[in-house]
A and B are shown apart, each in its own frame.
Chain A
Amino acid sequence: MGSFDFLDEVRRMNGRQLYYQVLNFGMIVSSALMIWKGLMVVTGSESPIVVVLSGSMEPAFHRGDLLLLTNHREEPIRVGEIVVFKIEGRDIPIVHRVLKVHEKENGTVRFLTKGDNNSVDDRGLYAKGQLWLEKKDVVGRAKAFLPYAGIVTILMNDYPKFKYAILAFLGLFVLTHRE
């Protein structure tokens, strides 16, 4: 046996206890999932918490800082706001500040963004031929800020193996440890 001693506890369980063990693991995952979905409903944003992945907003935000977003329909977009937006053909959303806004009577709005740390506006980042962003491109507007809290995400992004190792370890720990 030796190194498999930790499995002894599992071996002593009956069917119901084993099932509960799996459920317990499922509930940890579900709780995280439901908190996330709940935040989505409350904030109106499909991604209510984002980690800053680039240095383009320095010195305000650094890589690994956490932003809380909201995206309520009725909330207007104004200059100076920090928006998170998606560009067609790019997977990763961008966090930048609104530089120009042109809003029509009926509420349709076109706006231009720029990163605080960049010397030019974002037209070069947008899709080919795209001059303005519209409301549909917005994932959320930054409402609160927490430094360093997303650093683990950065590590996981930079070293995918690290991510799988952590997930496997946590999964095994929860499944084999009887509460």
Chain B
Amino acid sequence: MAPSKDILDEKPVKIDKWDSGALKNALDDGAKKVLLDIMGFKESHKLMNGRLFLCTVAIGFAMFALLWDYLYPFPQSRNVLLCCVISYFVLMGILTFYLTYVERGIFLVALEQDKARMEPDNKWTLQSSLRKYDDTYHLTVSFTDGKTQAERSTTISRCVANFFDDNGTFRFDLFQPVVRKLKEDLSSEKKMN
């Protein structure tokens, strides 16, 4: 699928180039754009939904505790508060676990649908990391074949300066080929096997 014109014509993303969080977000968004908008994969929201669910439930416990304590002032509400507090901190523990061992920095799970809809979807996963005070952006693309469930992945590490100009404008035109090449390397490997 050829990149549609309007994607490249969008207002360029400009960020504070010294803010590593903003750098990572811009790069992540760029990689996402390559897979979703240009290659036309479909985003799977399962991972994000899991995180949102955990957070929502945790806040629900906190709000419930607040309400209950308001309706039944303190010494009465003690047991309910105790339950809410324990549940909240257990959920926070689960959330930390979820972020470190389930999400592991994965910011996109995209599904490549078979054109004939005969075979199960292939799964593409993007995972990135950019350490604070470090200028190297690590991007891992993983591919899971829908049919065989075989998994392959490659990683690149590039200095962020390659993809931003002096003013902090994100050069999608420079970043896009890198992501495409990663993807194509994995695809061709697939064919070789």
- Residue ranges of A at the interface with B (Cβ–Cβ < 8 Å): 5, 8-9, 12, 16, 19-20, 23-24, 26-27, 29-31, 33-34, 37-38, 40-41, 44, 46, 177-179
Contacts and interface: CB of A to CB of B under 8 A. Distances in A.
B37 interface: no
Interface residues of B, number: 33
B85 A38 contact: yes
Interface of B: 13-15, 21-22, 25, 29, 45, 48-49, 51-52, 55-56, 58-59, 61-63, 65-66, 69, 73-75, 78, 81-82, 84-85, 88-89, 92
A178 B25 contact: yes
A179 B21 contact: yes
Contacts of B55: 20, 23-24, 26-27
A26 B56 CA distance: 9
Contact of A19 (B21, B52, B63, B74): B52
**Interchain residue pairs A-B with the least CB separation, the first 5:** A30-B62, A46-B74, A38-B85, A23-B55, A34-B88
Identify which of A9, A12, A20 gathers the most chain B CB atoms within 10 Å of its CB: A9
Given A34-B88, A46-B73, A16 B48 contact: yes
Given A178-B21, A178-B25, A40 B81 contact: yes
Nearest to B85: A38
A16 B74 contact: no
